[in-house]
Structure 1
Amino acid sequence: MKILVTGGAGFIGSAVVRRAIADGHAVVNLDALTYAACLDSVASVADHPAYAFEHADIRDRAALDRIFAAHAPDAVLHLAAESHVDRSIDGPGEFIDTNVRGTFTLLEAARAYWERAGRPGAFRFHHVSTDEVYGSLGAEGQFTEATPYDPRSPYAASKAASDHLVRAWGETYGLPVVLTNCSNNYGPFHFPEKLIPVVILRALAGQPIPIYGAGENVRDWLYVEDHAEALLEVLQRGRLGRSYNIGGENEARNIDLVRMLCAILDDRRPEGAPHDRLISFVADRPGHDARYAIDPTRIRTELGWRPSVTLEQGLARTVDWYLANEDWWRPLLARPGVGARLGLAGATAGQGA
């Protein structure tokens, strides 16, 4: 199968690219190379004969038409998106433009290509989304595919809108679509503005480790390489028009997650121990969702997929990767906004649940 992967130089996208090539697929990596992209994340496959790279923006219809015509993919795996919640609070316009208008433009380009090709039944458009579209949970319960949408941030709202567009293109035009909504990803090649790499890199530098509020917010953590495997399973075997929730089955409070990372670092770098002395509680993010939890029953029963890595195993692998790959993450720390506290623009609007 030849797969057009959008956002293939990003965190999850690069994991998909590496996994797809390893599984014997051909990959066309389409990426606009915005601030969070890094081609070094796909350096291991860059010279593979089944890999091609296209520097393009999903909002550029002419570029998309050229790429579809030149490469004739069998499927689209759409990951390209603005995805940092704090940045969406400070600048929501870019999120609406990329995640909504960009998805619309990609859908139209894919539909035109599919119709010109005679509407082949094997074609797939797989849209990758987030559990944040469902809003916030209390102490009990899990998100299912039937959970009503209730986005609480500009990022989540933009992804919810793109989900609705994909479903509408499937219903209205018959485009063969599948959707997935995932929990929080982590692992190698994670851009250093997200929680886990922030903790690791600040601890290594002996700098304060910022924790929003009291650290009570709960997330379900999914190792990125497990996610890549699940996405390819859904792309190939998921039922058309269906959505699948992909979770790590690894819930943890933020404060507990940070302490786990500090304990691993105490073992790997004892000269800096105890690293949890660096924990610093800071003003919470506006509208910070209390808890996310995924019910993965559908993907487990229909496709036989479940995560292979526990949170403890995945965190240890992640710490070890960052310790061994300073040449990858060090240059990224100089990119705009990395290391600075973002997302304070809405602080006067009050706190979320």
Structure 2
Amino acid sequence: MDNLLITGGAGFIGSNFVRYLREKSPDRGIIVLDLLTYAGNRTSLNGIDNVELVVGDIRDTDLVRELLTRRKIDTIVHFAAESHVDRSIEGPDAFIDTNIIGTHSLLKAAKAEWLDAGTGRPHRFHNISTDEVFGSLEPDEPAFSETTPYAPNSPYSASKASADHLVRAYHHTFGLVTTTTNCSNNYGPYQFPEKLIPLFIIRALHGQKLPIYGDGMNVRDWLHVADHCRAIEACLHHGLPGETYNVGGGEELPNIKVVDEICAAVDAAFASDPRLADRFPAAPAAQGRSSSELKSYVTDRKGHDRRYAIDERKARAELNYAPERDFAQGLRETIAWYLANEGWWQPLMSNPAD
């Protein structure tokens, strides 16, 4: 693993992985390929030394092949994806184009360079996937394992399931060395503020309603992005070719519990730092009130999966992976980051005071 191509490396998880990898391996060659659509932000890579950003489309097979050849890349870590379920319901086409056709373009380029050209170079194509491909669990059902049948319920999860199947096929048919990790809900620094945790942090700071789908009892496993990065690196080093590994944070929480934790943590931050009241005067916490008064229940999302849960015993046994942060610690760190980095997220908000 000398030279890596990281697709979607200016996005949330991708940029965190670039930072993590650069700190662990200062001399490793890292190329980021990112189209810089709305969720890709070149400022997420600020301050990282010796990382080349190539602004381009993963569907451009010739560009990918040229990068693999010219930069002697032996590892692709594929993050690039459309990932917001609500957007996939409103406009599925972009998800098909990026997540399925884009993944196939990368696989074609990797096969052409690493197999057809006969370089004999050891290689790895690592695919970042999601637990959403497994569908929805009832409260008493066992957690998703690597043998759980795929049953995606949204255009987003269906497109990711299709990508996973293509990766599997290129390994079994052509011998491409691949691995896939299916992760649970990530949170942490540099997450685009359309996802629940950063969105609700920012809305609480501006005194905006916190819209909770349905009864708020949809359950998710929460994984801090730093733990996810550790799991990916472990998979690159120890994952067996053709295998898949589930990666979770080990903490199932209903959405309403997550929202309550956000509200309590924001209130605690204001209580410990009076200067925040001057920066965010519209926040209930700035006036000595509770952020929880902003909670508002709205009509549930179409096809909203009830529960996800991760059985990560395989990753623990074969990759020696285990999460290091519990949710309470990770959330405190995340809120502290968003408070300290308003200059990063403020330009991404069309009008945060609405």
Partner of 2:265: 264
TM-fit CA distance, 1:70: 1.6
Partner of 1:351: none
For the residues of structure 2 that align with 1:200 and 1:282, how far apart are their CA atoms? 18
For the residues of structure 2 that align with 1:116 and 1:242, how far apart are their CA atoms? 22
TM-score (norm 2): 0.92
The unaligned stretches of length 5 or more in structure 1 are: 341-353
For the residues of structure 2 that align with 1:223 and 1:127, how far apart are their CA atoms? 19
> Which amino acid counterpart does residue 219 of structure 1 have in structure 2?
R
Give the secondary structure class of the aligned counterpart of 1:44.
coil
Give the secondary structure class of the aligned counterpart of 1:280.
strand
Partner of 2:299: 283
TM-fit CA distance, 1:339: 9.9
For the residues of structure 2 that align with 1:170 and 1:334, how far apart are their CA atoms? 43
For the residues of structure 2 that align with 1:123 and 1:170, how far apart are their CA atoms? 12
CA contact (8 A) 2:115 2:176 kept: no
For the residues of structure 1 that align with 2:139 and 2:119, how far apart are their CA atoms? 46
The structure-2 alpha-carbon separation of the partners of 1:115 and 1:95, relative to structure 1 and needing over 3 Å to count, comes to same
Partner of 2:32: 29
For the residues of structure 1 that align with 2:55 and 2:306, how far apart are their CA atoms? 38
Deviations 1:233-288 (A, max 9, x none): 10121000100000000110000010011001111124253000000001110000
For the residues of structure 1 that align with 2:325 and 2:117, how far apart are their CA atoms? 40
The structure-2 alpha-carbon separation of the partners of 1:171 and 1:119, relative to structure 1 and needing over 3 Å to count, comes to farther
CA contact (8 A) 1:333 1:339 kept: no
> Which amino acid counterpart does residue 88 of structure 1 have in structure 2?
S
For the residues of structure 2 that align with 1:116 and 1:18, how far apart are their CA atoms? 32
Give the secondary structure class of the aligned counterpart of 2:325.
coil
TM-fit CA distance, 1:67: 1.3
For the residues of structure 1 that align with 2:113 and 2:327, how far apart are their CA atoms? 41
CA contact (8 A) 2:67 2:73 kept: no
Partner of 1:177: 178
Q: How does 1:226-237 map to 2 (within 5 A)?
A: 226-237=227-238
Deviations 1:112-137 (A, max 9, x none): 11025535362100011000000000
CA contact (8 A) 1:20 1:26 kept: no
Could you tell me the percent identity over the aligned residues? 50
CA contact (8 A) 1:10 1:37 kept: yes
Partner of 1:332: 348
Partner of 1:40: 43
Partner of 1:19: 20
Q: How does 1:77-92 map to 2 (within 5 A)?
A: 77-92=77-92
25-34 or 157-166, larger mean C-alpha shift: 25-34
For the residues of structure 2 that align with 1:19 and 1:146, how far apart are their CA atoms? 30
The unaligned stretches of length 5 or more in structure 2 are: 272-285
Deviations 1:291-337 (A, max 9, x none): 000001001011111000000000000000001100000000129xx
Deviations 1:129-152 (A, max 9, x none): 000000000112100000000000
For the residues of structure 1 that align with 2:226 and 2:119, how far apart are their CA atoms? 32
For the residues of structure 1 that align with 2:251 and 2:353, how far apart are their CA atoms? 27
Aligned CA RMSD, in angstroms, stands at 1.5
- Is 2:115 aligned against 1:115? yes
Partner of 2:104: 104
CA contact (8 A) 2:95 2:155 kept: yes
For the residues of structure 1 that align with 2:254 and 2:114, how far apart are their CA atoms? 44
Partner of 1:344: none
For the residues of structure 2 that align with 1:290 and 1:269, how far apart are their CA atoms? 33
For the residues of structure 2 that align with 1:44 and 1:295, how far apart are their CA atoms? 36
Give the secondary structure class of the aligned counterpart of 2:148.
coil
For the residues of structure 2 that align with 1:157 and 1:322, how far apart are their CA atoms? 32
For the residues of structure 2 that align with 1:18 and 1:118, how far apart are their CA atoms? 32
> Which amino acid counterpart does residue 39 of structure 1 have in structure 2?
R
Partner of 2:133: 133
For the residues of structure 1 that align with 2:37 and 2:290, how far apart are their CA atoms? 36
TM-fit CA distance, 1:232: 1.2
- Is 2:158 aligned against 1:142? no
2:335 to 298, 319, 324: 319
CA contact (8 A) 2:266 2:335 kept: yes
CA contact (8 A) 1:134 1:151 kept: yes
Deviations 1:165-217 (A, max 9, x none): 00000011000011110000000111000000111000000010110011000
Give the secondary structure class of the aligned counterpart of 1:269.
helix
For the residues of structure 1 that align with 2:65 and 2:320, how far apart are their CA atoms? 36
For the residues of structure 1 that align with 2:251 and 2:18, how far apart are their CA atoms? 25
For the residues of structure 1 that align with 2:104 and 2:71, how far apart are their CA atoms? 21
> Which amino acid counterpart does residue 257 of structure 1 have in structure 2?
V
TM-fit CA distance, 1:69: 1.7
